Amino acid sequence: MKLFSDLIAKISVETIKMELMKTAYGTDDTFLSKLDSRILIVWYLIFAILPWLFFNKTIIIGLLLFMIVMASMSKVSKLIVALLSFSLIAEFSSIFIVSYFFGGGVESIGPLILLSTKLVIIALASISIFTSMDPEKFSDALLSFGLSGRYCFGVSYGYRILPLLFEEYNNIFNSFRLRGKMPEQKGFLGWRSIYYYLKIIILGFYPMILNTAKRIRTTVEALELKGFTYSLDNEEVKKLKLSYMKVGKQDILFLASSICIVAIIITIGKIYPL
């Protein structure tokens, strides 16, 4: 299975790390990123629920077009789009196969496409929001919605240590690769090699978890010294932390025009249903 190992060599961990961090932190210049993060979350929730309320194909297509425009405005990274398409195709074909075996036949394709389109709408909405909003703003928005301080900190810290974990995982994975041995017989379609790689991909997580658990002790102590626990039960601090968040004219305008567009789509859909 030369192809598989070549692929691993090509997609360097460095590239994936860069793409991921760019998606998370790197977009300060798009239109959406200038808006208040709480408004963005509300906007996202609307579009996560909306597609489920309609079976009218015109409306669904309208919403899809709207989301495509939004996603392209927020400069979604190619890697993310590729991942999305991959998961979509995988999901679509697996459901189709299952339904075929249970006697679904070709006619199940129609409803399946509708379902998939709805999922695409939600996925596009979420990636256009989350590429435009860095984890810091997201975490602050959750805090202002009243979620616990510990949880919100966890969200932002999780992102912050992601690149470290990536690097460490890569090194551990290479330890497995270089010290282990690939099966000499590749097996049918190289299944032995694939099985071997899948196995070490999973095994690589264990040492990483243990290493992290060991390191985190210092972090917890340091948080204590930085007054994190002190800030948790202090309303004043919370206010100070969130004082930069303001809902402005731009935010209201954005929300209002989105609702207008949706209303137009729905009206058109009612008049010209497909």
Partner 1 sequence: MKEILRVEDLTFQYPGADERVLENVNLKINEGDFVAIIGSNGSGKTTLCKTFNGLIPHYHVGDFEGRVIVGSDDTTQTSVSKLAQRVGYVYQNFEEQLVRPTVYDEVTFAPLNFGFKDYKKRGQAAIELLGLEPIKHKFIWELSGGQKHLVALAGVLALDPDIIIIDEPVAQLDPANAIEIYEKLKYLNEEHGKTIIVIEHHTEFIGDYCKSVVMMGRGYVAWHKPVKQALSRIDELREKNIFPPQVTQAAYELSVSNDTYPINLDEGLDYFSDISKPSFTTARRHRFTKKIDIEPVITFNNVKHSYRTLSKDKRVALNNLNISFYEGDRVALIGNNGAGKSTLLKMITGLIKPSQGDAIVCGNNTRQISSEDLAEEVTYIYQNPEEMFISDNIRQDIEYYLKSRNEENLDEFVDQIIETLGLEELQDRDGRLLSGGQQRRASLAIGTAMKPSVILLDEPTASLDIVSRKEMLNMIEKLEEWVKTVIVATHDMQLVSDWADRIIVLNEGEILKDTDQYGVFEDGELLSKTHIKPPQILELSRRLKMTPIALSVEEFVNRLGGEEVEAI
Binding site for partner 1 (CB under 8 A): 5, 9, 14-15, 18, 21-22, 25-26, 134-136, 156-157, 159-160, 163-164, 168, 171-172, 174-182, 203-204, 207, 210-211, 214-216, 218-219, 221-231, 234, 236-237, 240-241
Take residue 203 and report the two structure tokens written for it: 């095994």
* Nearer CB in complex with partner 1: 82/164: 164
Minimum gap (Å) between residue 34 Cβ and partner 1: 17
Residue placing its CB nearer to partner 1 in the complex, 214 or 249? 214
Q: Rank residues 224 and 260 by Cβ distance to partner 1 and give the closer one.
A: 224
Taking the complex as a whole, the smallest distance from the CB of residue 77 to partner 1 amounts, in Å, to 12
Distant-in-sequence, close-in-space partners of 109: CB < 8 Å, separation ≥ 6: 96
Rounded to a whole number of angstroms, the minimum distance from the CB of residue 128 to partner 1 is: 21
Q: How far is the CB of 17 from partner 1 (least distance, A)?
A: 9
Tell me the backbone φ, ψ of residue 76, rounded to 5 degrees. Answer: -70, 140
Report the residue number, 174 or 257, with the smaller CB distance to partner 1. 174
CB of 159 to partner 1, least distance (A): 7
Instruction: Compare residues 106 and 225 and give the one whose CB is closer to partner 1.
Output: 225
- Closest distance to partner 1 from the beta carbon of 12 (Å): 8
Nearer to partner 1, 57 or 192 (CB): 192
